[in-house]
Structure 1
Amino acid sequence: MPGSVRARAAAGATAVVALALIAAGTAVLLVLRGNLQGQAGLQAEVAAREVAAQIATGTPYDRLDLPDGDEHPVVVTDEDGRVLAVGDDVRAVDGRPVGGARTGAGHAGSGRSAAAADDAADDNDDARGPRPGEVDDDAHQSDGTADVDGTVADYRFAAVEAEDGRGEKATVRAGSALAPERAAVGSVRDAMLIGLPLLLVVVAGVTWLVTRRALRPVEGIRAEMAAITASTDLSRRVPEPAARDEIARLARTTNETLAALEASVERQRRFVADASHELRSPIASLRTQLEVGAAHPELLDVPGAVADTVRLQRLAADLLLLARLDAGERPAGGRRVDLAALVREETAQRGGDRVPVRVGPSEGLEVAGSRSQLGRVLGNLLDNAQRHAASSVEVAVVRDGAWAVLRVEDDGPGVPAAERERIFERFVRLDDARARDDGGAGLGLAIARDVAVRHGGSLAVREGAVFELRLPVAG
């Protein structure tokens, strides 16, 4: 598949390797060419210095021991550019014929008198270059062509100056063929051109196989997720590879997500079932009372019908608030609520309750959030405390560092340690609470904790029967 990860990985790896090999191959060829050219230049310089050494020792030009023209073409010229000696079979250098050089001319063939030579020797004391009987330390190298026995080829030339004992200067130019260097470079280049495609094919194939094997668990995860989606069976899990790599972590994270999703769906199912159960009783009671009242008006229990209606209204409001909280609704920002003032307002409305509420020491602490939702939390906590209290309920607001703490405490039996988290689940009522319940559906504490979390705080049960709401202090 052209769009598959395997294909893209193989193509990408092949392209990267191809670029790397091309760059490395080019560098190798350049280095090889430079080394071979340097070697050719060194051979040419050695040949030129051997001839120059003969000239410096006074060997006549017609008796110079020159190398074969096929190996190192040599041309000896004077300061005026006239050819003094030339190697065997060398006909031209850089397109200039050299075949007319005189042989056996000796030093007299230079055309200069002995006096002139003596004057030149005196002038050389101040001139640059070699002294009489010496060879210049510097050698000038260049590329050129030479015609040896009718065959023109490229050479690397080295030019060295020498001066004999009479003060006559000569330049020896010797060449070394570049054909072996070019043949070596061409052989390496051809080998690279043949090996590069083969190597790229191997890289692409290995990358394809390795990627295929590495992604095989991903395909297993995808197939299992597709099966879970088709069957809606959230109890199934994707296979987890034994290796501790990214794919194994992906599989574990996927299973954790499935577990959380399964728990959420199961919680929603229980919520719907419990809500239906809680709604069924007051609706059935209200319907029965209305039917009896329709048939026998004198038997209609109006207070009971009103109580059932109020219970339905409260339950509907609780379910609506839970639905909004589950949808991620958060309190409007920028509003501040004074907890102490909220406590005073709520307790002032409870003058006729079964158990009176006493307000303990309270500081004027402000928190950011929704006044109505925080008032709902306080009301639910006070309702819960009054249902279980024996004779008193106390509420206080204190500061604990950056937190505002609202405590509601009653003198009831308290909550068992094993049940201190369970009571915050929805539709959960302990046996004692169920026996003394006045119509609650077990949603008050669940709503209180959800609202606390949405406000960036927490709600927990401490030792005994102390409910502690912690909220960050505003500002």
Structure 2
Amino acid sequence: MAEAFAASGVAGGGSAASGAAGGGSAGGRAAGAATPTEAATPAQAARRGLRRLRPMTVRARATLGASAVVAIALAIASLSLLGLLDANLLHNAESDAEAQATAVAQLAQAGRLDPLLPPTHGADFLQVVNEQGQVLTASQNLTGRPPVVARHATVPGTVLSTMDISGLGQDHRQRVVQVTTETGGGLVSVYAGTSLRDADAADETTAAALAVGMPLLLLTVAWVTWWVTGRALRPVEAIRAEVAEISDRDLHRRVPVPQTHDEIARLAVTMNATLDRLESSGHRQRQFIADASHELRSPIAVLRTQLEVALAVPDPAARPELITGALEDTERLQQLAADLLLLARIDAAEPHATTLLDLTELVREAVRTRRGDRVPVDTELAEGITVAGSRLWLTRVVTNLLDNAQRFAEHSVRVLLRVDEAAGRAVLEVVDDGQGIPVADRERIFERFTRLDDARSRDHGGTGLGLAIARDLAQHHRGTLTAEAAAPDAPGARLVARLPLAGPAQG
């Protein structure tokens, strides 16, 4: 895809250049300036070529990577094996030759050297040379030959050295051991040589076996990796194919979950969970649109009726009442639109300014601004409770809870604020003395456009969104909002919001 994008960009650049060329002065500038393709350096061109050669599939990359690692490991192992084998064979040859040279050196010290040294096991030839470079004795295959080494030892004692000797009439290398010892006639050097025929043959055989076996093993590894990777990625392809076919109208479909209990199975489970959330979100959105349309239809119809009546009634004295009703319905429409907009912002997870707030003062101020409520509000607020959040949104939570309590209370509304030290949360309770909330409906009241007493809620101006907005805002602040049982001696509704505590409020 990167290459296609680059190609399209180049093609687009060419078109632009052509168009500019036909435009007078602009064309002159285009002709004088180098395009991105023309300005590309050789290194950039080489990188583009490597990107084209790079395998694009996971299967191909895994096969190539495994083959490369195995090839490097086999090369290192083969070189190490050849090196160890050659070193071991050389060591054995040198040990045998050294033993023979030492034995002949002991004979030289004792003055019992034979004119012709017999061949022995472990040495293909023997030669004894004094410090003047004269050959004292040798094996039959070196009879009449000069010293095998032109430079002779000058230090008394025993000296060991190894060297390659050629030109002795053999097809293979010779490993020569030199032992220098002190005799009655001066320094004497004994040279014992052994053929490396067996070592060379073993090296050649091993190298040939590795030359045949390594490519076969490498091909086997590549084929096994390709096959295993293909089987491992088969569920991924099935997941991809299924997701590719799922449209916004097929969110009920799910990807297959393999019975392997591995990362791919967990990926499928996660994908299905995501599809569950998408389906739920889609259903919620469609339901929200349907409910919003239903809720908007009634006030719009009432508003239109009132306006038509105002136009049809010839009596000017009746018009103020009709216009007042129309204004009330307009206000209700405005409030409903504002609530819908706020819910849309919450659903979109729009960021909001977060600061440290004195929740006690925020609740006290929200209650103070409602002095004209139908039912008086009693407060019992703990001091110095600090939370982190948006002042506007947390004020909206308190206001919506008070609106709900005022809508259904008979004689009193109580607001309590305390700290739950064990949970590290601030607890806000709004309690009214109304009819209360049945246990079966304590979760349903937080659904959007839900009214337990629809007619009464409409009469009091409720839209069915207040508690839904309050819960969403509480959750947006990592808190909760629930309907809980009231005290036995205090019947009515009890709504409890819990918010995480923060540090001291900033002034």
Q: Does 1:18 align with 2:62?
A: no
The equivalent residue for 1:282 is 299
Task: Give the number of equivalent residue pairs.
Answer: 432
**Counterpart in the other structure of 1:236:** 253
Residue 247 (structure 1) aligned with residue 269 (structure 2): no
Structure 1 distance, partners of 2:392, 2:311, is: 39
Q: CA deviation at 1:171?
A: 2.2
C-alpha change, 1:189 and 1:294, in structure 2 (3 Å) is same
Letter in structure 1 aligned against 2:264: I
Hey, what's the Cα distance between the residues in 2 that align with 1:169 and 1:354? 130
Are positions 1:77 and 2:96 aligned together? no
CA distance, structure 2, for counterparts of residue 158 and residue 283 of structure 1: 115
Give 1 or 2 for the bigger CA radius of gyration.
Answer: 1
1:202 offset after TM fit, Å?
A: 1.1
Give the RMSD, CA atoms, in angstroms: 2.6
TM-aligned CA deviation for residue 14 of structure 1: 0.5
Question: Hey, what does 1:192 align to over in structure 2?
Answer: 210
Normalising by structure 1, what TM-score? Answer: 0.84
Identity of matched residues, %: 49
In structure 2, C-alpha distance between the alignment counterparts of 1:176 and 1:415, rounded to whole Å = 107
Whether contact under 8 Å (2:105, 2:181) holds in the other structure is: yes
Equivalent positions of 1:369-408 (< 5 A) are 369-401=389-421, 402-408=424-430
CA contact (8 A) 1:237 1:255 kept: yes
The corresponding residue for 2:502 is 473
Structure-to-structure mapping, 1:51-450, within 5 angstroms: 51-62=104-115, 64-67=117-120, 72-90=124-142, 91=145, 94=148, 129=157, 140-148=160-168, 150-151=169-170, 153-162=172-181, 169-229=187-247, 232-298=249-315, 300=319, 301-334=322-355, 336-401=356-421, 402-430=424-452, 432=453, 435-437=456-458, 438-450=460-472
Between the two structures, name the one with larger relative contact order (CA 8 Å, sep ≥ 6). Answer: 1
Secondary structure, counterpart of 2:192 in structure 1: strand
How far is the alpha carbon of 1:198 from its aligned partner? 1.5
Q: Which amino acid aligns with 1:382?
A: L
- Structure 1: which 5+ residue stretches go unaligned? 98-126, 130-137
Give unmatched runs, 5+ long, in structure 2. Answer: 1-53, 487-492
Once the two structures are TM-superposed, the CA of residue 331 in structure 1 deviates from its matched residue by 2.8
CA contact (8 A) 2:288 2:448 kept: yes
Question: What do the CA deviations read for 1:429-463 (whole angstroms, capped 9, x no partner)?
Answer: 22x46545423121101111111222333222232
Report SS of the residue matched to 1:61: coil
User: Residue deviations 1:145-175, cap 9 Å, x none?
Assistant: 1543x447521111224556x5755321101
Give deviations 1:360-402, integer Å, cap 9, x for gaps. Answer: 2442434333333222211110111122223211112223334
Q: Which amino acid aligns with 1:376?
A: R
For 2:176, the aligned partner's letter is F
Matched-pair contact (CA < 8 Å) for 2:130–2:187 = yes
Cα distance in 2 for residues equivalent to 1:297 and 1:139: 139
1:359 aligned counterpart, secondary structure: strand
- 1:85 deviates by 0.5
Counterpart position of 2:490? none
2-structure distance, mates of 1:93, 1:169: 15
- Tell me, in whole angstroms, the C-alpha distance in 2 between the residues paired with 1:73 and 1:146: 13
Does 1:36 find its partner at 2:89?
yes
